[in-house]
Amino acid sequence: MFDTILIANRGEIALRIQRAASHLGLKTVAVFSEADATLPHVKLADEAICIGPASAQASYLNPHEILMAARLTGAQAIHPGYGFLAENADFAEMIERHGLTFIGPTSSAIRCMGDKVRAKQAMRMACVPCVPGSEGELPEAADEILRIGAQVGYPLIVKAAGGGGGKGMRVVTTEADLVESVALTRQEAQRSFNNAAVYMERFLQHPRHVEIQVLADNYGKAIWLGARDCSLQRRHQKVLEESPAPKIDARAIAAIGERCVEACRQIGYRGAGTFEFLYEDGEFFFIEMNTRVQVEHPVTEMVTGVDIVAEQIRIAMGIPLSIDQEDVTFTGHAIECRINAENAWNFMPSPGTVTTWLPPGGPGIRVDSHLFAGYAVPPNYDSLVAKVIAYGKDREQAMSRMRQALSEMVIEGIDTNIGLHREVLKLDGVVDGGFNIHFLEQWLAGRSQRGAQQ
């Protein structure tokens, strides 16, 4: 048991954790960089400590500073949010070693799932269907690589075992490019993830990205909370998410959900987690597991009524899951638009001072954001500044509420992608639902051409 949580993150997710902790009657400690003293969660927390300069390396990615802050304030538990140290097994292990609680799975579960080759092996053992590909990590010898490539078939995708954030992936269409592509991906993987191991998968041509949210407690109980469709992507990064996943039979979702919770039991998983799948021609193929709360968790919260962050904290306190699978119900539809501080045309980050902040409201609208007028968006971190979530009794109402919300929303002083979302929500493919992961990039390519012609 603990009564004080240190929030090892910033921005909207830090505020989200602050809210969940307060709701549970817990005290909070905010840690912040020199660029983040004005963030709302810093003001709301019971205590706040500056842990270093603006650079993430020197602050939010510095385990020792964070541990020191916990020691100084008497916080007994650490919530890592997403990004930064959330999936760093060494950090989780250090927290465990110092007798504090890491609000998440065990360090060994994080380590296992953080290595995508090991994660896929664990999933095969648990009978979760995976994207066909190499058995494990690729060997060094070129002839061996070519042999495995021929087995997997072209096009294929070479991926970094330690990869994340859409980086460390390379599509290979012909055998002639394979050996060089593997070498390049290895170099990139070593540089970005300090792990040169790479593997191969069949490159699916028109899949959707559909993921299953799970919660598991310390006592072998696990539940699944439905599916999210995150197929609207740019550079393998999610832009818009929704739940439930349109046009997929509820029984198919239930079947894969059951597989996921069974896998949780087999690997001894604890906390919130997401099983990511590609879905093509009626089949699910596991790609990876995220061992943390995800940016898009609110859409699941809206349709199930479960507070995922509060549940994470309760699980970490050793409280058994109070919800049975039979009690989980799915009502209505929810959509989330990620609002980024970025140029609408070239997607370059757009830091600067927000001069106007007019968030939308009304029935079914939720805004998770740390913005306020006068806030200076620093250039040092991820460009996500707000999440607009629209809930409706069905998809049509959720879409209509989202359109209204985005037409009301005003952010001035920085560039944002609000305009892009407004346009995207008008597209027939998006209105119909069930589009694949290439939809947005294809539309953007067309938009650039149309822009160049004008």
Compute the least distance from the CB of residue 285 to ligand ADP, in Å. 7
Name residues contacting ligand ADP, limited to 165-224 (CB under 6 A).
Answer: 165-167, 201, 203-204, 207, 209
For position 131 contacting ligand ADP by CB under 6 A, the verdict is yes
Report the residue number, 15 or 295, with the smaller CB distance to ligand ADP.
295
For position 277 contacting ligand ADP by CB under 6 A, the verdict is no
Question: Shortest CA distance to 366 belongs to which of 414, 328, 398, 330?
Answer: 398
Report the residue number, 17 or 295, with the smaller CB distance to ligand ADP.
295
Tokens 């460390």 map to which residue? 168
Name residues contacting ligand ADP, limited to 292-321 (CB under 6 A).
Answer: none
**Cα 345 from Cα 233, distance rounded (Å):** 15
DSSP 174-218: SGGGHHHHHHHHHHHHHHHHS---EEEEE--SS-EEEEEEEEE-T
Of 236, 403, 422, 447, the one binding ligand ADP (CB under 6 A) is 236
**Cα 165 from Cα 233, distance rounded (Å):** 12
**Cα 416 from Cα 344, distance rounded (Å):** 6
CA–CA distances in Å: residue 316 to residues 2, 105, 110, 172: 9, 9, 15, 43
Name residues contacting ligand ADP, limited to 375-394 (CB under 6 A).
Answer: none
Query: Which of 46-54, 60-68, 118-126, 163-171 is the region at the interface with ligand ADP (rule: CB under 6 A)?
Result: 163-171
Report the residue number, 40 or 83, with the smaller CB distance to ligand ADP.
83
Report the residue number, 158 or 339, with the smaller CB distance to ligand ADP.
158
Query: Which of 157-165, 319-327, 372-380, 383-391 is the region at the interface with ligand ADP (rule: CB under 6 A)?
Result: 157-165
For residue 145, count CB atoms less than 10 angstroms from its CB and return exposed for 0-12, middle for 13-18, buried for 19 or more: buried
**Cα 137 from Cα 159, distance rounded (Å):** 10
For position 164 contacting ligand ADP by CB under 6 A, the verdict is yes
Query: Which of 162-170, 294-302, 319-327, 442-450 is the region at the interface with ligand ADP (rule: CB under 6 A)?
Result: 162-170
Tokens 């999610």 map to which residue? 238
Tokens 């349709």 map to which residue? 303
**Cα 211 from Cα 118, distance rounded (Å):** 19
Compute the least distance from the CB of residue 334 to ligand ADP, in Å. 20
Compute the least distance from the CB of residue 244 to ligand ADP, in Å. 18
Of 42, 122, 157, 411, the one binding ligand ADP (CB under 6 A) is 157
Compute the least distance from the CB of residue 119 to ligand ADP, in Å. 10
For position 354 contacting ligand ADP by CB under 6 A, the verdict is no
Give CA torsion, residues 319, 323, 325, 329, to 10 deg: -150
The tokens describing 350, both together, are 């757009």
For position 273 contacting ligand ADP by CB under 6 A, the verdict is no
For position 437 contacting ligand ADP by CB under 6 A, the verdict is yes
Compute the least distance from the CB of residue 164 to ligand ADP, in Å. 4
DSSP 380-411: TS--EEEEEEEEESSHHHHHHHHHHHHHH-EE
Segments in 281-411 forming alpha helices (H)? 297-304, 308-316, 395-408
Name residues contacting ligand ADP, limited to 45-64 (CB under 6 A).
Answer: none
Compute the least distance from the CB of residue 233 to ligand ADP, in Å. 5
Is residue 289 a contact partner of residue 259, using CB atoms and an 8 Å limit?
Answer: no
Report the residue number, 52 or 162, with the smaller CB distance to ligand ADP.
162
**Cα 121 from Cα 130, distance rounded (Å):** 9
Catalytic positions are 292
Of 93, 258, 276, 382, the one binding ligand ADP (CB under 6 A) is 276
Compute the least distance from the CB of residue 146 to ligand ADP, in Å. 19
Helix (H) or strand (E) holding 231: strand 222-234
**Cα 426 from Cα 225, distance rounded (Å):** 29
Compute the least distance from the CB of residue 208 to ligand ADP, in Å. 9
Of 42, 66, 210, 287, the one binding ligand ADP (CB under 6 A) is 287
Report the residue number, 273 or 413, with the smaller CB distance to ligand ADP.
273
Query: Which of 28-36, 44-52, 159-167, 321-329 is the region at the interface with ligand ADP (rule: CB under 6 A)?
Result: 159-167
The residues binding ligand ADP (CB under 6 A) are 131, 157, 163-167, 201, 203-204, 207, 209, 233, 236, 276, 278, 287-288, 437
